[in-house]
Each structure stands twice: as structure tokens, then as C-alpha cells.
Structure 1
Amino acid sequence: MRRRRWSVLGAAACVLVAAGCTSGSEEAGGEPAADGEGWTVLVYSIADTDLEPYLLADLAEFAEVGSQEFLQVAAMVDRAADYSSDPLLDLEDWVGAKYVSIGQGSAEELDDLGDVDTGDPAQLAEFVAQGIADHPAEHYALVISDHGASWPGVGGDEGSDYSSLTLDEIRGGIADGLEEAGLDKLDLLGFDACLMATYETASTMAPLADRMIASQELEPGHGWDYRAFQVAADDPDVDVDTLGTAIVDGFAAQAEAEGTGADITLSMIDLNRMAAVDDALTEFSEALSERAADVAPVVGRERADVLSFGRDPDPEVDTHMADLGLLAAEIGVEALDVSDQADALIRALGDAVTYEVAGPAALGASGLSIYFPPTEELLNADYASVESAEAWGGFLASYFEAGSAIPADQQPVFAGDGSAQVFFDEDGLNFFASFEAAAADNVVWSSISYGELGEDGSTTFFGEEEAEVAEDGSGDVLGIFDLTVMTISDGLDTSYAYLTLAYDDEAEIATIDVPLAYYEPGEDEEYRDVTLTITFDPESGDVLNETYYGYTEAGTYGELTADPEGIIVPKLLVVAADGTQSWEPASDVGLYADLPNLQYDFETLASGTPLLAQLTVTDFGGNSDSVTAEVLVP
């Protein structure tokens, strides 16, 4: 991906699921299934999705190493009908699943499995058991390749009605396969996929392996660099940490070469130490629950500011995954009565996360995330079925209960005495207002939004940026809008785009997440929800990374391989006169989805442009109030 520059400088105003499983390690205390040396790598490739081209490329990378004296590579590859007609090494295109051996630059069909449901844990169990039986070794690796979704699991088999695997099904499938093969445990379980480095995942998978490798963030389509497995081919006695480190480093090096390294994450977790993390998180969750009414404001403020992953301006698409280590650290600093429990959790996480990389946009990532929707309305009811989330789920219930109990006189309400002020200076529009001071302690977020008022009383918003609440408890709020709006052009047409800007002062990196509708070529009705993530250097204007991420019908995420002839339509937030919110197309004109040729700009609003500005404050219970002003741009 080539580097480009913003046309206005200073514009600051997964894909794959790879589970490497090794079994019978001395560290794990298990016995090998059969006499053998070295490593066996099993690849469970759910390529019956739009990720098929990427997954074929991964297997081709594996073939650069290939099966040899101390390394065996076998794969179950379920292919789609439409996304790629390319061969897999020696094997011509097919639809359905094949069980294959990956050699050095070659592939051999071992069995034609026909139409399979890769979201069926029994299919995963059968593959694990058969692969181990056919390829005896001292160590084993399993690679599961497809979209990821954090705690909901992985998958999205389009040939099986978007069937996917929950965390419990992944655990059950692997456990059943290991039991049939006579193995106690794996050495390495990895997820080369979007969002899978979560507490919920690591805790659930802990009985299955010694190590887990996964990403907290959405991953670029190229995923891991499977040539990193060369270290296992070179040394039959290579230990899991050496292999895991090579995988993490290989991923980072490939991302740097591909121009996707700005916001990557990948971490290796010692699953043998997850019991200590479980205990520490339980104590932390219980301490927070016991003091929910007192600590909820602090927790809410830290949740609003903490590093998060899989973001989207539309809260219905956002994954609501927060960095667990950073969240605990900030809460522990601000809420001293839970600082001991926070510190214990941070230490346990530090021990469990043995190696990691993070791009500058994810600076400080701790290696594991956790689910934390900001309001009860956004809580996915299925989270209650995640066994490993019982303690944290109990805290979330207490947090939301405390939010619902905020007295009416302590909820944010802007003063109605006309004290709101709007004025213009060299920074742009300044919007100052005050809400009742009694609510100051409960407020966790404030923002300034800007848009235009429609004749029907609706408002179309072009963006939202954080506003500043005075720290003295007065209830004073100041929002500043620099009078520029984001546009995207394909060289033929130009469209407004909704702007949310995340800026890391320490890393000096900014990220914009733009909600889009993507239409396949020739399609004018059905579309996919897509987020265009743009990471850039606000000082120079250099674009460091730009990627489409798609949200599937299975509820999983991955990089979208957009057809350059496809159409993208940016979406804007429309608030009807009755307060109903929806995301609507920015215009009737779509843009070609050819990502390298898109140009971004920040267009200064013309003098005399009518503008509606809105200042909003929200407390930890989701209660909010807004004040608006209609002005003309000077």
C-alpha cells in the first residue's frame, strides 16, 4: 500500500484466525500421540468467505517452508464459489472442503470432504483428531483462518448460512479432537484474526494450550507471515516461546513492509498463568461491584478515554472492546479504594502476556482486551452465556444498575438562563455552556457535533469531536470546531464523510474511522456496513495506513477486499425532529471503492454557511443533555 499525503496538511482539526496448537510438550506435561520429532501444523482454513484470497496467500506462504524432516503442514481448506478461482499451489480451484498436505511449493490432496459446515465444532474436532493421527510429532500447531469477533467467536461460513464458532464451540471442538487423538494439551493456540486477544478468549482456551497468540485490534488482510514457521523446520527442539516470538516478529515485519503497521497489535499469552488472571479479575470485578455507586463515575470516565479496538462511529457496529490493562491501571489511580485489586490484576496480566507488538496507534496496549459497552442499551445479551465472563458480567450489571439509579437532580441538564455562548476566533467556532454543577461528578463524556438543519426539523451531522469539561466541578463545557468538514473523492465525485477523530498525544498519531455502505459492482440495493480506518501523522499529513473493515452477517469482522469497481457511500448521522437517530447516505452519488485512488480533504466551510452546533454531556448512566446553536460561518 503506497503512502499518500492529505491534501490539507495538519489535518488533525479479522481476518484470519490462526490457532497454533502444539501438544504433548514437556512444559504441558502431556505425552506425544505417537513417536515423532519436531512440529506438526494443522490449518483449519475457513475460506468459504470473502477472505478466501487472503487465506490462499497464507497457505502459499506456508508452502515456502512446507513439510520437511522436522515440520509437517496439513490443512482443511473450505473454499467459496465466487471470491477466487486461483489454484492452491498444485490444486486447481474447487468449491467445498479438501484435506491437503502442504509441501515445499506444493500441495497434495489427502481427501475430498465435499460441502462442510466449518461452524460445526464436530468438524473442527474431526480435523484435529485426523490431522494428529496422520502426522505424529512431538509438538502440534493448529491454525484456524477466518473472520474474528472477540468474545462472540470466529467464522462466518457463507456456504452454511454464515455459521460460526463461539468460544465454547472452539474449546469443545479442539478438546474433543485432542481427546480422540490421546493428547492432553497443545503448546500453542493462536488467533490470526480480528479482535481475538481478549480476556474472555484466553480464559476460555486456557485448558487447551500453553500459549495463545492473537490480536486485540482489527487485523490487515495479510495476517501472519507463515514463513515464520521456518524456525520449527530448522530445529525440531525449538520451544513454543521461540516459535511464538518468531510469529509475532514476522507479523510486525510483514505489516511494516505492507504499509499496515500503524495500528497493529499481536500478543503471546502464557495460558498457564491465566488462572492467576482469572482470580485477579474476579477480585477486581467484585471490588468494583461492591463499590459501584462510588466508583462508577471514575470507571465511566476511564472507559470513555481508554484505548479501544474495533471502533466505529455507529455504536451498533462498534465492538466495545477496551484494553484491560490500561483500564485497570487508570481506574486504580483514580479510585484508590480498588487500587490494590487493580494492581494485582495488572501484575497478573504482565506475567501472562509474555511478548507483544503494537503499532503507534495502539501504543501502550496491554495484550488483552475486555468487553465493556458504555451503556446497558448497547450490552449484547449473548455475553451472559460466556462462561469466562461471569465475574466481569456481574460488575457490568452493577455498573449499569448504578447508572440507572442516578437521581434526576444529579443528571446533566444545561442551564436554561441563556448563558450559552458562541463566538469565533482563530481556532474556529467556540461553543461554551454550563450544566448544573450537581451532575459534574457523574459526567463521563462531552462532545461538540456539527451539521446542518433540514427543513423538516432534522439535523444531518458531519462529525463529532471531544469537548472539554472544566475540572473544578463548575459544570462549564467548551467545545471547539475548526470549521472544516471531511470529504472523500474518487477523482470523479466528492462526498462529505462523517468524522470522528482519535488522537494519541504521546504517540502523535491520529486515527479517523469513517462509516460507509459498500455496494458490490452492479448492486444498487444490498450493501455491507464497512468502516474505513485511516491512520495518519497530523504533523506532516502523511497517511500511514488506510483499510476497509467489513462487518459480516455472522457478526464477525475482517478486512474487506473491495472491488475497485464497487461503490462506497459515506454515511452521515441524521437526527430526526423527534430525536430518532439513523445513519443515512451522505449523497445520491457513490464513489468508486478503489482505495489507493481515494483522496481525503478537510474543506473549510464557506462564509455564510448556515451551521448547527451541538454541545452534549453524558453521565455514566447514559443520561445526556444537549444545547444547540444556529450560526452563520463568518
Structure 2
Amino acid sequence: MRGTTTIALAALAAAVLLAPGPAGGSTVAAPPAPAAADGGADWTFMIYGVLDTDNVADVLTQDLASLTSLPDTDSVNVVALVDMPEQGEPGYPSQPLPGLAPFTTAKLLQLDDGRWNEIRDLGEISMGRADTLSDFIEEAADRFPADEYALTLMDHGGGRYGGYWDTGAPGTQNLTIPAMREGLLSGLQRSGIARFDVLFHAACLMSNYETASALAPAATYMAGSEELMFANPLAADGMLPLADDADPQALADSLVDGYGRYLDQLAQQPGGQQIRDLAAMSVVDGDQMALLDTALQSFSDVAVAHMDEIAVQVARARSAALEFVTSLDDSGGVPYDLVDLGDFLRHLTDVPDDVAVARDAAYAALGNAVSHQLTGVGTQQATGLNVYLPTAADARYAQDYFEPGVAPQGWGDFVKAFLESSRQQGGQGSGSAVGFTSQQATVLQADQSGIKIAGQLSSGDSSQVTDSQTQVVTRIGGVDDALGVVLPAYLDAGGQGQVQGVWDYSLTVLTDGTKEVAGTSVYQAQAGGLLGSLFAQYTSPDGDTSDVAVRLLLSSEGDIQSVQVVDVSNGGASAAGVSLEPGGTLTPYVYAASFSGYTSQLSSQSIAVSDQLAVSFSRLPAGTPFTMGVVVADVAGNSDGSYVTEQVR
């Protein structure tokens, strides 16, 4: 692994300035509330802005401010319900919306004359309630009738967990998938609107099968992201087709492409390239979702009937498929377990003929449902919708998934059968279904360039392996027996049942050009390269602390292509970008060996945040002792390893 890449200190703060709107900050008296438009417009574009939540109000306020650059036209209404946090809370807007004084309540706003104009103040409300969403839709449609309607939901997103968390007064609440569906359908019914023409999720992870299936009756086209979104999710130029009375599909495509152009600009800024590299946006045709539901129900029916014989293949396909916000689950929160639906189906092989036929039909139906995509170099295999597929080890987090309104029936039956079969197979006999013939690995090659080891599985066990890793344990950060790095291992390399691991003696480090501080890093294969994470505690100059993940995208040759810093201080439940300030510090987390596996603790060393801060790879000194092993797991999550103790050459 090679290369050194500077970590941007304020990449996201700079990025939102790429498309600035008119300067805000002046206190302007609100005009009288407008009467309903005479005769209606071509489009009414509604924005449901849940800004009263962690660390989004400032960047999303700047996003909304950028919309004031849109041309004024009588044929388009832009109306927003925006709820702000209390002043002094982290992320409170550094500048007010153009045309308004700072506020901390929820306000109904209209975009007109290059500024935001207050219609009325709703006080403290919960934007995480279905009835609040329904009320907004009804009032916006009543005040601003139009031929066509679009709705943007703006805040954190969580895939199958829903999104749009309001953490302020009167209490924390979010729009689960059933709550979103209830709020949308109720608002549409009360407004006399058959369906939204476009629904845009300006939030992370919401191009999600469970969400799209539930909301298809409420929207003709649904646009959003399978991965994280950053800073400026609703790009002003993506809305420009509204003025030309664009058809719904063209508008949905433009919202995705507008964000893509913003990412292209962001990629030119320090720290912005990986955000572009990991983009995975899509547009879904709501009219095609019923056919996809039917195809996945048929796939589930035959797959469930064969589950005991294909559970290993399912687990292998899940392990090989493109996974979103991968490695962020290690931050201690509830895991996302979101994989790309089509990529999973592509990797599901060696199954009975009837399962293969149903799999192919489901894949074709997915292709018909996804009408437009935008991907990056790290997400080239994305097919447009992520889906929840937990591992056996994460089964304890899946119970609420089977509650009414969350999992579509077909896919829910498939997930339940997979987890149950995995549990039963793990309970048969004792120990793991996979094991090495010896706990002592063989050194195949060791020189100054690195080391290659191999472990031999027992006869027939290769077919039961669902995941494999290379693990290196050494002393880092003042911790003996610390997990230094986790890399992929290679099954059946060099012969049937042989598992090989390769390491070049380097660890992932944070550096200021003089000092280097290592932490535990975990790498997984993705799009022909590796995607890795190193977790650290960030301490701001004011002494506030938060947990962050430094994400690295590596090429197939091991070169650093891009680096991204993500705030995971809430356990990754709503990962967001973070700006590192000079004068702060980063202290990596180190995973120390314990009786129960590995536990995280802070390194004894920290690195100061400065404009020289970078992430790099540092080769351990010759003579440094380490233990290296190849580890495999079965469908139930049981594991076994084969190890060797060596020294750096």
C-alpha cells in the first residue's frame, strides 16, 4: 500500500461556497402571507427541511440559500417548511437564510424575488411525525396549486430505518418508512393530488428498496442516493428544468445530475475526490415498483424453499456484493447492513435452476425500475437500490425489520429464512463448520517487500466459507497485541482449501509530515480496489469531542485514490461530513485483543490538526514482531484461524 494524501480541514465548508446564493444576514420584515395562486402554476416544488437535528443545519441552510440564485418565474412555486435548532447547538447556521433573521422554530417559507419570505411561524413542532408531513403537503398544495408537484425530503437518512430525525423540541422522532408512507399518502389525499410527480430524498442511503416499495404509490419518480450525501444535496442547477416546464422524469434526472455536477466541482477541492468516487445516485420509476415487488416475491418463494441448501451461497453473495457505508458499523452503532440489490443478485451463483430463473427475473425487473444512475469509480457495480441483508452475526438487530410496513413481504420472507437457516446450521454439531488443519500457518514468502502466508482448510470446508480475512496483530499506540490492519484473504489461492494472506509490513497512519500515529484499519474489496476505515476521536480547539472515520479508497495497486472524513459520533446512525479545525487533535482508536475478541480503546498518541495533516502508510521497522493470520467464517458467523509469529524483514 502506497501514497500520502492530505486530509482537508474544511472541505465541506468550502464546498458549499461553490454555488453561493445572494448574501444573507440582513433582517428583512416578512411580507404578508400570499394568497393561493390564481389559476395555478406549472410546478410546485415543496421542500421538507428537517434541520433541527445533529450537525446539518449550517450546511443545509447554505444549500437552501444557494436556491435563491434560481430565476424567478410565475410558473414555478418553491415552498419550504424549515425547522431550525436552538442557537448555540452544534451546526447552528453561521448565516441566516437570505431574507430572514435567525430563527429557532419551524417556518413556512416561499422562495421569491431572490430571497426566502416567511409565510407563517409554526413554533416548535416535530418534523419526525407523519401528521406534520401531511399538514405541510396539504397547506403547500392549497396555497400554491400547480399542474405538477415535487417534494424534497431533506436531512439525515438511514435506509431501512427511514430518516429525517428531528432531535429538537418537543422530542426526538424520525420518519420511519411506515410514517413516511402515512404522511405522504394522507397529505396527497387531503390535497386532492393523485401522486407526487417527483420525490427526491436529499439524504443519505434513501435509494433503498424497502423505501421505494413503500412510497411508490405516492410518487411517479423517486430519486436519491444509495450511499452518503454531503453538504449540498439539493443543487440549484438541478432545479433549472422547472422553469421550462420539464416532464417529471427529466426533473428527477436533473436533480441527480445536478448533485453529480456539484460533486465534480467538489472533487477539485481538497478532500472532495472520494465523495465523488463513492457516489451512487439513482432515479426509480414508481410505476415499475409493483413488478419488482412481484419478481422479488417469486424469487423469495423459490429461494426460501431451497434455503437450507443455498444459505452459504447467499452469505457468499452478500459478502461479495457492493456494501454501502461499509466499515462505519465498526463505530459501535447499530449496523446498516445495506448492500446493492442487483450486485447481490449478480453474485448469487451455484443455486438450483428454479432459483436461478427467479433471480434473473428479479434482476431484469430491477433494471426496468431504475431509469437513471450516477456512479463513481468505487461504485461502478451499483444498480440503483440498496437493500437490507444482515449477516448472521447481526441477526439480533433485525427484529424490528419484520414489523408491519418496513420489509416488503417477499424480501422480508427471504431475509427471515436466511437468518433462521444460518442460525440452525450454526447450531448443528459443535464449533465452526469451517476449520484449518493446523493453527500454525505456513510462510510461503518473506523478504523486505512483505510476507505471504497460507493456511490449509480441512477437506471439504472450502465450500462452507462465506468470508475470509487477513489479520495482523502487533504493538501500536501503546497497546500490546493490538489489531494493526485487516485485509482481504484469498480462498483457494494456490490450491483447493488453501487460504492465503499478503501484507507489506505497513500500517495506516495519520501524519503531520514529521510525526506518525497509527490506528487499527480495516480494508474490504470494492470496485477493483480496497475501501478502508480508520477510526479516531476528534477534539476540537474548544475541547468538544466526536468520533470520526477516515475512509480511504485504494486502487487495485494499493495507491491512495482519495480520502474522506466522516462524523460517526452517534454510532454511525446518520454519518455526515466533518470539518477539522487547526488547533484540534485526532487520536486513533486501537482494537486490543481480549477474551471476547477485540475491544476499542484510544491510542496513547495523538496528532495535531494542521494544514499538513495527511493519511499515509508507514512501514514498521525491521525486527518488529507481529502475528499474522488468515481467518475464515461460515454462514453462522463462526470462525477459525491459522497464524504465524514473525518479524519484519
TM-score (norm 2): 0.86
Q: Of 371, 392, 412, which aligns to 2:388?
A: 371
Q: Which residue of 1 aligns with 2:447?
A: 425
Q: Which residue of 1 aligns with 2:606?
A: 589
1:66 is displaced (CA, Å) by 5.3
Q: What SS does the aligned partner of 1:343 have?
A: helix
Superposed counterparts of 1:108-123, under 5 Å: 108-123=117-132
- Alpha carbons of 1:418 and 1:70: their partners in 2 closer, same or farther (altered >3 Å)? closer
Between the aligned partners of 1:7 and 1:69, the Cα distance in structure 2 is 52
1:438 is displaced (CA, Å) by 3.2
Q: Which amino acid aligns with 1:499?
A: S
Q: What SS does the aligned partner of 1:356 have?
A: strand
Q: Which amino acid aligns with 1:120?
A: R
Q: Which residue of 1 aligns with 2:568?
A: 550
Q: Which residue of 2 aligns with 1:255?
A: 263
Note if 1:197 corresponds to 2:207: yes
Between the aligned partners of 1:51 and 1:456, the Cα distance in structure 2 is 36
1:450 is displaced (CA, Å) by 0.7
Q: Which residue of 1 aligns with 2:50?
A: 46
Contact 2:284 2:372 in 1 (8 A): yes
Q: Of 424, 443, 447, which aligns to 1:405?
A: 424
Q: What SS does the aligned partner of 1:38 have?
A: strand
Note if 1:6 corresponds to 2:3: yes
Between the aligned partners of 1:501 and 1:198, the Cα distance in structure 2 is 25
Between the aligned partners of 1:460 and 1:38, the Cα distance in structure 2 is 62
Q: Which residue of 2 aligns with 1:383?
A: 401
1:628 is displaced (CA, Å) by 2.7
- Alpha carbons of 1:598 and 1:472: their partners in 2 closer, same or farther (altered >3 Å)? closer
Q: Which residue of 2 aligns with 1:483?
A: 505
Contact 2:583 2:608 in 1 (8 A): no
- Alpha carbons of 1:545 and 1:631: their partners in 2 closer, same or farther (altered >3 Å)? closer
Contact 1:42 1:73 in 2 (8 A): yes
Between the aligned partners of 2:136 and 2:509, the Cα distance in structure 1 is 49
Q: Which amino acid aligns with 1:476?
A: Q
Contact 2:476 2:518 in 1 (8 A): no
Q: Which amino acid aligns with 1:425?
A: D
Contact 2:198 2:251 in 1 (8 A): no
Q: What SS does the aligned partner of 2:486 have?
A: strand
Q: Which residue of 1 aligns with 2:369?
A: 352
Q: Which residue of 1 aligns with 2:232?
A: 222
Q: Which residue of 2 aligns with 1:517?
A: 537
Between the aligned partners of 1:59 and 1:297, the Cα distance in structure 2 is 47
Spell out, residue by residue over 1:398-432, the C-alpha distance to the aligned partner (whole angstroms, 9 max, x if none): 22232233344771222238564465136512221
Superposed counterparts of 1:498-517, under 5 Å: 498-504=520-526, 509-517=529-537
Kindly tell me the number of residue pairs found equivalent between the two proteins.
601
Q: Which amino acid aligns with 2:63?
A: D
Say which is worse superposed, 358-367 or 253-262, in terms of deviation.
Answer: 253-262
Q: What SS does the aligned partner of 2:210 have?
A: helix
Q: What SS does the aligned partner of 2:41 have?
A: coil
- Alpha carbons of 1:555 and 1:499: their partners in 2 closer, same or farther (altered >3 Å)? closer
- Alpha carbons of 1:34 and 1:436: their partners in 2 closer, same or farther (altered >3 Å)? farther
Between the aligned partners of 2:492 and 2:601, the Cα distance in structure 1 is 34
Q: What SS does the aligned partner of 2:326 have?
A: coil
Q: Which residue of 1 aligns with 2:109?
A: 100
1:123 is displaced (CA, Å) by 1.4
Q: Which residue of 2 aligns with 1:328?
A: 345
Spell out, residue by residue over 1:110-161, the C-alpha distance to the aligned partner (whole angstroms, 9 max, x if none): 1112222111222111111111111111111112110111010112323134
1:453 is displaced (CA, Å) by 6.1
Between the aligned partners of 2:136 and 2:207, the Cα distance in structure 1 is 24
Q: Of 285, 291, 294, which aligns to 1:279?
A: 294
Spell out, residue by residue over 1:560-619, the C-alpha distance to the aligned partner (whole angstroms, 9 max, x if none): 34445444322222221x134322223342543x6x642122111111101121221101
Contact 2:440 2:644 in 1 (8 A): no
Segments of structure 2 that go 5 or more residues without pairing to the other structure are: 7-11, 14-35, 268-274
1:392 is displaced (CA, Å) by 2.0
Q: What SS does the aligned partner of 1:373 have?
A: coil
Contact 2:510 2:613 in 1 (8 A): yes
Between the aligned partners of 1:198 and 1:429, the Cα distance in structure 2 is 41
Q: Which residue of 2 aligns with 1:127?
A: 136
Contact 1:469 1:478 in 2 (8 A): yes
- Alpha carbons of 1:428 and 1:85: their partners in 2 closer, same or farther (altered >3 Å)? closer
Q: Which amino acid aligns with 1:534?
A: L
1:169 is displaced (CA, Å) by 0.8
Say which is worse superposed, 532-541 or 73-82, in terms of deviation.
Answer: 532-541
- Alpha carbons of 1:359 and 1:549: their partners in 2 closer, same or farther (altered >3 Å)? farther
Between the aligned partners of 2:157 and 2:328, the Cα distance in structure 1 is 20
Q: Which amino acid aligns with 2:533?
A: D
- Alpha carbons of 1:597 and 1:342: their partners in 2 closer, same or farther (altered >3 Å)? farther
- Alpha carbons of 1:33 and 1:346: their partners in 2 closer, same or farther (altered >3 Å)? farther
Between the aligned partners of 2:552 and 2:262, the Cα distance in structure 1 is 19
Q: Which amino acid aligns with 2:259?
A: F
1:180 is displaced (CA, Å) by 1.6
Q: What SS does the aligned partner of 1:98 have?
A: strand
Q: Of 290, 303, 311, which aligns to 1:288?
A: 303
Q: What SS does the aligned partner of 1:119 have?
A: coil
1:327 is displaced (CA, Å) by 0.8
Q: What SS does the aligned partner of 1:405 have?
A: helix
1:286 is displaced (CA, Å) by 2.1
Contact 1:614 1:627 in 2 (8 A): yes
Between the aligned partners of 2:351 and 2:589, the Cα distance in structure 1 is 37
Q: Of 41, 57, 66, which aligns to 1:61?
A: 66
1:356 is displaced (CA, Å) by 0.7
Q: What SS does the aligned partner of 1:345 have?
A: helix
Superposed counterparts of 1:150-161, under 5 Å: 150-160=159-169, 161=171
Spell out, residue by residue over 1:76-99, the C-alpha distance to the aligned partner (whole angstroms, 9 max, x if none): 111122322412001121112111
Contact 1:550 1:560 in 2 (8 A): no
Q: Of 302, 306, 316, which aligns to 1:301?
A: 316
Contact 1:149 1:557 in 2 (8 A): no
Q: What SS does the aligned partner of 1:245 have?
A: helix
Percent of aligned pairs with the same residue? Answer: 25
Contact 2:283 2:372 in 1 (8 A): yes
Between the aligned partners of 2:190 and 2:528, the Cα distance in structure 1 is 52
Say which is worse superposed, 507-516 or 118-127, in terms of deviation.
Answer: 507-516
Segments of structure 1 that go 5 or more residues without pairing to the other structure are: 16-31
1:211 is displaced (CA, Å) by 0.6
Contact 2:83 2:105 in 1 (8 A): yes
Q: What SS does the aligned partner of 1:366 have?
A: coil
TM-score (norm 1): 0.88
Superposed counterparts of 1:435-446, under 5 Å: 435-446=457-468
